[in-house]
Structure 1
Amino acid sequence: MLKINNLTAHYGAAQALFGVDLEISTGETVALVGANGAGKSTLLKCLMGLVKPTGGEILLDGKPVTGKNPAQMVRLGLALSPEGREVFPELSVRENLQLGAIPLKLSKAEEAERIEEVFDRFPKLRERHLQLAGTLSGGEQQMLAIGRALMAKPRILLLDEPSLGIAPIITDEIFAIIHQLSRSGTTILLVEQNAARALSGSDRAYLLANGKIVEQGKSDELLNDPILRSAFLGAASQENPAASRLGAAGLTNIRLEKPDMRQQNFMPDFKTEAELQEHQLKGLQWTVRHAYEGSAEYRERFDAAGVTPDSIQCLDDVKKLPFTTADDLRDGYPFPLRSVPFEQIVRVHASSGTTGKRKVLCYTQKDLDDWTDFFARCYQMAGVTPLDRVQIAVGYGVWTAGMGFQLGCEKIGALAVPVGPGNIDMQIQFLLDFQSTVFCSTASMALLMAEEIHKRGIADKIAVNKIIYGSERSSRSMRKKISELFGGAELFDITGLTELYGPGTGIECSEHDCIHYWGDYYILEILDPETLQPVPEGEWGEMVVTTLCKEGAPLIRYRTRDITRIIPGQCSCGSILPRHSRIKGRSDDTIKFRGVNIYPSSIDTILSAVPGLGSEYQIHLTRDESERGQMRLVVERAEGVDAKRSPELTHEVKHQIKKQLLVSAEVELVDYSSLPRSEKKSQRVFDNRIQDEIV
């Protein structure tokens, strides 16, 4: 009876429908199911002539009717009960019904006969026929809207969200009437978010997502599809549609357009390093031109360096570009490096401020979409699936962490439990009650939680099997301890910084010997922090990054100050994505002690290799009366280690510090768990060598 071919529709420049194909046979009830904003109502408006399609055709009985006005469509046999009822509140029930037949120009007798037929289907409307429509309940208004459409005795009845905002018991009445209409031979196109209701009350169904048909078939087969049922419908059945987890009590917004999340892939499709490099060159050329044309700050820097967008002909030309530093971000506050008009900026985030004044970055919608996608890639590389429940124990707000973890989690289809940092009792309660399978936090917070889990003896009662942590360095012993006290959870170190979108710019793979970084989103250089010249592959140096598609505030040769090294070759995990080592330290927090540069991670490594020591320690730097530098290490003994072993452990630590770092240190051992823990970054370096002001 009705056929739609390749239908497209726009609202101004925004496209709402993309090549929709749909068919309805005489006497069928067809459901069109999708989330809010999927394009369902737009499709109905195109059918009724309320919105003019921008492409495709609509055929009724094989004849084109595309673009006809609403009155003509009513006369041809279509009638619409719109979303939100759209009754005329200042008119009576009877007057609202009369409006439904105006295009047909019926006689008074015929009109009265049809009104009586509507009253027979909806007795409540007869009782209130003189009452103003605006005083009816939501369910009664929905009955009135359907009755008004039935006044035209349509061959095809279009129902737009008949259960929206209606109490469950009234929804039952509405759908009982829809079943009656169907059995009486009325052809119905039913648009619904309530998937269980729609599928149980229709013959065939189309699933609409983002303006496109993504699935279609017989309703009972879709309703009983195991993947569909497990993901969306719970225990719903044709006999008991309300048994849906979300459909119970008439809840809407069941996202049937959601694809099979287990088949999603957020990894790039590059097969060779050459393909990746070709992509990087195009991205580099775009970024330089974008920054040059969009940012006066960048243009001034490029002009001073004698660089134009045309100067970039190969990847090696990145060396021609000037460096960007954290000082540039602070100097440009509050919108440093902005390269787009203000109206394109949709969000700002800022650094955590642990090393000085906050660095604020702006984001376009594309920046946020890109960030969400590659954060989902992090979850994918860690093996997180839609069946996981991800407890997010990092900060929300202006800091990037919480938002990144949550958006990526939802993108991959997992359940997010956004607790935020701190509140150990709540964290423990949620681990137990929600049976979270993934825990996301800083390393310090993970250790704090692990010790609390051990203290309460609940490791066998929680379900955490993966821990994704970042924001600070951790030692091997710390990782091992966290894993053991969490009941054997697998740890994944995730990297990132606010300047480079936020967390999620790389993650440890299942081999646990490297960090894969997203070379399709940024170029990574490893330079000598003193000379700023490239170091040989495999040697340690400062990470310098250049974004490839960041719009709001692109980074060009940004000095991250993080110390790492490129790991050559392809990873045994099979990923084509490039790799670097875990962050060893920072070029700007290096401890320079008696002429020796020491990274805190070097202390981590030494202490990890001494059996009997815990994972928590502090480094205290002072000067004695002769201005000679002094280093004192305060280290916890491992749990259960007798204090009588302190002399031997102290001797071993001193020996290894002298042997490996070429400096002498005083060592003080303290009881297990006596050093402070924090859900944020634990402070481990206390440099008190300078007591007066620098300037």
Structure 2
Amino acid sequence: MKVESSINASNALFDEEFETLSPGQVRRHQDGLWSPQWGYIRSMSTFYRGKLSRWIDREVTLDSLQELPFTEKDELRISQETTAPFGDYVACGEAGVSRLHRTSGTTGRPLILANSAADAHRIAQVGARSMWAAGLRPTDRVVHCLNYCMWTGGFTDHTILEATGATVVPFGVGNTRLLIDSIVNLGINAISCTPSYPGLIEQVLRESTDLRPRDLKLTLGLFGGEAGLDNLDLRNAMEEKWGFRIRNANFGLSEVLSILGGQTDWTNDLLYHASDVVFAEIVDPATLQRLPIEEGTVGELVCTHLQKECQPLVRYRTRDVVTVTGVDRGPDGRTAWRFRVTGRTDDMFNVRGINVFPSAVRVAVESLPQWASGIFRIVLKGDGPYDRITMTVEAAQGLPATDWPKAREQVEAAIRTRVGSTADVTMVPFEHFPRTEGKTRWVEKEA
């Protein structure tokens, strides 16, 4: 099914025909897409002809897909080391590659990413569904503040914003004072960036202008690249300070699809917008068995491309742990299933038998804005398991040093309550850690 978008500022949905299909209709559409995609992979991917040699002559359905082995990120890295630059999982010739990116390298050696023109178009269309659901319209003027230096979040997400019909200001990262002037002088009303970047903007406002965050008159914040926006205390505090609506509009993985899901106005959960491009499975992190996508399911998200020309992936382990929060039709007619990202299996560490996710620690720290700024670092020494969470936490702005012992007690208690583990907290002054335009690293590992 080819779904064409009709951009109209009054439309509630970007791709109404697809976004309102029933789950049964979506699955039939997926089955129809997977059959030729499987044939394409068998014919064109050297990597999968070897990896899936036992199955390569069989007709694999989306039901029997779960019998196939997973694809791991390290396999892709090794593939690219031996067959540079794209790896032997590239399934098209050089003439078919329209765009080259690389991953940010947050979880290891960066991957080189290849997209055909058709791949790039699908990325833009699915991403535009998410941005539209988040509230971006052709009447908006949005400044895009993610890194354009080869990172997918820069140029490719720029094309996503443009696909909504909005006016896009390609700012990138750095020169925050110029960004402030541009927002004020160009009538920009929306910003696309990481959730931690407004903290840097606020710092520059305080140090070099008489303006407050609300004086910029931004009405919409489109965030991605970091966890934390599920914390309602943090969201409410940011919305009160800045005066804009906050949307986590940009959940995805560069090697799979730049944007898989995002929020809309009637829920704080993420909607899975990519069902016609990426088939999602949820597997039990312990047994790795497929689980039903139904309310209450918790497991690791696994992705298979239904439409991908350059670097198609089969059963790719994202390492993101998600909780399904709903599968019913929303009040706007959207039928996408809803979920929250609760952690990553590769970020998880063990403290006295308890699996700890940094995102859970972040929620605990950010629940205490009167005591802590919300910025911290967890320090892991050795390979673990660990007997406590050793961490450094910034004090709240203006909190006197005489109150730091009390702040430490409050943070340790919040972590013990939310995470179930003992924390050893060291308090440091406000703005001890540098603010960044990009992703914030919450964990530091020492040998």
TM over 0.5, yes or no? Answer: yes
> Do the aligned partners of 1:526 and 1:566 also contact (CA within 8 Å) in 2?
no
**Shift of residue 408 of structure 1?**
1.9
| Cα drift, residue 571 of structure 1 | 5.2
Structure 2 match to 1:513: 268
Larger radius of gyration: 1
Please list the CA deviations of residues 308-354 of structure 1 after superposition, one character each: whole Å capped at 9, or x if unmatched: 45232xx3222122211112211221223212233222122211112
2:298 counterpart (512, 527, 540): 540
Measure, in 2, the Cα distance between the counterparts of 1:661 and 1:260: 45
Q: Is the 8 A contact 2:221 2:244 kept in 1?
A: no
Listed as ranges, the matches of 1:190-339 within 5 Å are 265-269=14-18, 270-304=20-54, 306-308=55-57, 310-312=59-61, 315-333=62-80, 334-336=85-87, 337-339=89-91
Distance (whole Å) between structure 2 residues aligned to residue 461 and residue 568 of structure 1 = 37
Distance 2:8 2:351 in 1: 56
The one-letter amino acid of 1:506's match is G
SS at match of 1:405: helix
1:316 aligned partner, one-letter code = D
Per chain length, whose mean CA-contact separation is higher, i.e. which structure has more relative contact order (CA < 8 Å, sep 6+)?
A: 2
Deviates more, 1:264-273 or 1:521-530: 264-273
Equivalent residue number for residue 367 of structure 2: 609
Task: Say what the alpha-carbon RMSD is for the aligned residues.
Answer: 2.5
* Corresponding residue of 1:368: 120
Work out whether residues 351 and 399 of structure 1, in 8 Å CA contact, stay in contact via their aligned partners in 2: yes
1:581 matched to 2:339 = yes
**Residues 560 and 346 from structure 1, CA distance in 2 versus in 1: closer, same or farther, beyond 3 angstroms?**
same
Is 1:465 the counterpart of 2:219? The answer is yes
Alignment partner, residue 152 of structure 2: 400
Provide the residue aligned with 2:3 in structure 1.
none
* Cα 1:670–1:347 shift into 2, 3 Å: same
Q: Distance in 2 between matches of 1:309 and 1:423?
A: 55
Higher normalized helix content (fraction of residues) = 1
For 1:291, give the aligned amino acid: I
How many residues were matched structurally?
Answer: 425
- Structure 2: distance between partners of 1:360 and 1:478: 34
Residues 628-667 of structure 1: pairs in structure 2 closer than 5 A: 629=387, 631-667=389-425
2:94 is the alignment partner of 1:342? yes
Q: For the structure 1 residues 405 and 453, does the alpha-carbon distance in structure 2 shift closer, same or farther, using more than 3 Å as the test? A: farther
Match of 2:140 among 380, 385, 388: 388
Secondary structure at the aligned position of 2:196 is classed as: helix
Tell whether the 8 Å contact from 1:330 to 1:359 is kept in structure 2 after alignment: yes
Give yes or no for the alignment of 1:420 onto 2:175: no
Structure 1 pair 570–641 and aligned structure 2 pair: CA distance change class (3 A): farther
Mapped partners of 2:423, 2:319: distance in 1? 26
2-structure distance, mates of 1:285, 1:458: 55
Q: Which residue is equivalent to 1:570?
A: 328
How do 1:157-196 residues align onto structure 2 when only pairs under 5 Å count?
none
- Secondary structure of 2:279's aligned partner: strand
Amino acid at match of 1:633: M
Question: Which secondary structure state, in structure 2, belongs to the residue aligned with residue 443 of structure 1?
Answer: coil
The answer to whether the Cα contact below 8 Å between 2:158 and 2:170 also exists between their aligned partners in 1 is yes
Query: Do the aligned partners of residues 397 and 575 (structure 1) sit closer, same or farther apart at CA in structure 2, a change above 3 Å counting?
Result: farther
- 1:260/1:588 Cα in 2 relative to 1: closer, same or farther (>3 Å)? closer
Cα distance in 1 between the residues matched to 2:303 and 2:187: 38
Q: Is the 8 A contact 1:446 1:469 kept in 2?
A: no
Q: Is contact 1:267-1:377 (8 Å) kept?
A: no
Change (3 A) 1:593 1:331: same
Q: Distance in 2 between matches of 1:489 and 1:311?
A: 44
1:432 match: 184
For 1:227, the equivalent position in structure 2 comes to none
State the SS of the aligned residue for 1:421. Answer: coil
Cα offset, 1:604, TM superposition = 1.6
Aligned to 1:6: none
Alignment pair present for 1:677 and 2:435? yes
Residue in 2 aligned with 1:448? Answer: 200
Which residue of 599, 604, 617 corresponds with 2:357?
599
Q: Give the percent of matched residue pairs that are identical in Structure 1 and Structure 2.
A: 27
Provide runs of 4+ in structure 1 moved above 6 Å.
none
Question: Structure 1: how far apart are the matches of 2:387 and 2:262?
Answer: 38
Check whether the contact 1:466–1:492 (CA below 8 A) recurs between aligned residues: no
Residue ranges of structure 2 left out of the alignment (5+ in a row)? 1-5
Distance in 2 (CA, whole Å) between partners of 1:542 and 1:259 is: 34
Deviations 1:349-406 (A, max 9, x none): 2111122211122211111111111222122111111111110000113211112222
Counterparts of 2:248 and 2:333, CA distance in 1? 16
* Distance in 2 of aligned mates of 1:665 and 1:259: 51
Query: Among 357, 380, 398, which residue is 1:621 paired with?
Result: 380
How far residue 490 of structure 1 moved from its aligned partner, in angstroms, is 2.8
The answer to whether the 8 A contact 2:389-2:422 is kept is: yes
| Offset of residue 278 of structure 1 | 0.5
> Does the Cα contact within 8 Å between 2:14 and 2:128 map onto a contact in 1?
no
- CA–CA distance in 2 between the matches of 1:535 and 1:271? 22
